[in-house]
Structure 1
């Protein structure tokens, strides 16, 4: 059997869209520095501002609210480290399911950090958040994720915003996995800042953005030479910005009903192959592009290796662990037993995923389970 080439790890990074590739290559043909006032510089400035408008359109933001960064990790760090300083935060509260970038940045400030727990279904514990808000002394910087990158669970951002918004506290939302998958209306919403990423929607790696409201306009991490209206120094990566903008425009036309159909096919197949399968976050609202599951007794490290040998790329959770396969902090925060968390696999679909991808995964998994069963019987 010929080795397959099936990519099912879009939550880690989505393949480059044709529109983004075209925009990237066209921008690379331009010459100069976007801060220069001559014709070459103005052409680059126009490229950046076009990309800014396109990204703002998908985020429901005003173009001037978009601050381009080198990644979502940088955007989160700028928001937390820079925001803690600007808003004179005394404490930072981070949800236990947040991407590792958030607690790492919070710890770097040297301020006290409070972890907001998760419920067993993967949602943020709003009762605990209410208690944290009520007992806070001084200014509190609250950081929560909108869509969990491992389980796909959608957090009740509207309710969280209603809790934090009327207070004196600051709200940062990691919208990386929501951007392009859920309707965002940053300009009209309560969060003070949002972080988004390019390579999750089919742009190249190396480009992200921090969305900021006017009162957070001076939140900075890199002072530099005044680029991005003084909000992020360094010559802008205009080609990456052009590709980011093109990807954002294309993502606005994605058919998420189709991807939900792939998820439904996958979950139905999993339940047929392994009736004891556990689908994490199944009782909560989830985006229709990712399934995080565990089949008791099938370790994720073993399964990923076997799937990779058959030409299928999946993950066990976040890709930001230096290539390590480790037990998910998200699942542990949900109260999942460590021995079950060690069996977690994440299958995530994206803009170019097909029905054949889902069926290929199920076929490969069936082979792995049959081999495991034979091995157990032989033992």
Structure 2
């Protein structure tokens, strides 16, 4: 039996999403076609759009379906960049992001620097919380878009989105938030947030891989960066996927409907795991926020070694850092938080979700002492036995 504690990477699909997906999967019809089958496909797509809008506090016309969170982030940033005023007077070439954004944001802005974008990066403190004074200073330069992640995907830290929106609005900047780790874990209401753009993804909340959405205010003159048949408000062309959209909407509806109870349940489970890990010498990274994400460092232990030992014991978790060609790299998020490279390489992320339960915590707690002992020996540390906890 495996214990899955990597929901922040991808959460298993919920039964409601499976049912919604399979109910539509065998049906014919392109949602852009005018015949009866096409209209039936369109009805499924628009029902899903309306359900998502209702659950996320948006108008249905503000829901732009994408292939996932990465495309939603790209559409927000590239769409804003291409919508900036032309000419030299009033031109807004600045893009602002936090230092702890997902690569979908950081790499997109890096690419746009080659087109003349002035990218300003705002730092965070040791708890992963955005420096609002630094953001205010960055916004003194005419800015087209400010992008700050709502919940950090590695530490679970919740950013002060209300303050970010207020500062960006005062500077006449559009404001975007990657809310992919927020939906289903903290209250998200697009209209009330004051955001212009918000990215969501299905598979982080128990929906299928391959679909997400960008919520974009109706009056926003966003520009497409890829072209085709003009679907999705002429912002994201391509044949619609009604079955995926229906499953996406079903997963988000379940997550939002059960938010309060699920938040409390996950917080209890995460607290239990955190307590045990601290007794084993682990140190938490980031201010507690999203109840399902726990990022911890084990001093003197290579996280990649510990991850593989836990994997052998049947525990799935993550280093929470970029991995290129099989070479583990220090987490840019932890480095931005002021950790050294060695400290950043000692970090593991445990993330819980809808099917996590007390037995998962118990198995993780039982596996950790032996895994830690062997990981410390591999790192040249002392052979110190760690006493397992009962109950």
Task: Give the TM-score range, shorter chain.
Answer: over 0.9
Partners of 1:322 and 1:67 in 2: CA distance: 33
In the TM superposition, residue 188 of structure 1 has moved relative to its aligned partner by: 2.8
1:20-51 deviation per Cα after TM superposition (whole angstroms, max 9, x unaligned): 11111111111011011111011101111111
The CA deviation at 1:362 is: 1.2
Match in the other structure for 1:63:
60
Instruction: Please report how far the alpha carbon of residue 223 of structure 1 lies from its aligned counterpart in structure 2 after TM superposition.
Output: 2.7
**2: CA distance, partners of 1:152 / 1:328:** 14
What is the aligned partner in structure 2 of residue 13 from structure 1? 10
Q: How far is 1:91 from its partner?
A: 1.1
Q: Does residue 268 in structure 1 map to residue 275 in structure 2? A: yes
Superposed CA offset, 1:101-125 (max 9, x none): 1121112222121111111110011
1:73 paired with 2:79, answer no
| Alignment CA distance shift 1:84-1:358 (3 Å) | same
Aligned ranges for residues 117-196 of structure 1 at < 5 Å?
Answer: 117-134=123-140, 136=141, 138-196=142-200
CA distance in 2, matches of 1:200, 1:104: 21
Cross-structure match for 2:35: 38
* 2:206 is the alignment partner of 1:209: no
1:247 corresponds in structure 2 to 251
TM score, norm. by length of structure 1 = 0.93
Structural mapping, 1:195-234, within 5 Å: 195-234=199-238
Q: Whole-Å Cα distance in 1 between the matches of residues 171 and 333 of structure 2?
A: 28
Aligned to 1:278: 283
Change beyond 3 A, Cα 1:374–1:181: closer
Say whether the 8 Å CA contact 2:295–2:349 is kept in structure 1.
yes
CA distance in 2, matches of 1:128, 1:319: 26
Question: Which SS does the other structure have where 2:269 is aligned?
Answer: helix
> How many positions carry a matched residue from both structures?
370
TM-score (norm 2): 0.90
Residues 166-202 of structure 1 deviation map (CA, whole Å, 9 limit, x = unaligned)? 3221111111111111111112322111111111001
Gaps of 5+ in 1: none
CA distance in 2, matches of 1:56, 1:347: 30
Note the aligned Cα RMSD (angstroms): 1.8
Structure 2 residues not aligned, in runs of 5+: 86-91, 385-391
User: CA contact under 8 A between 1:9 and 1:348: conserved in structure 2?
Assistant: yes
Distance 1:328 1:374, change over 3 A: closer
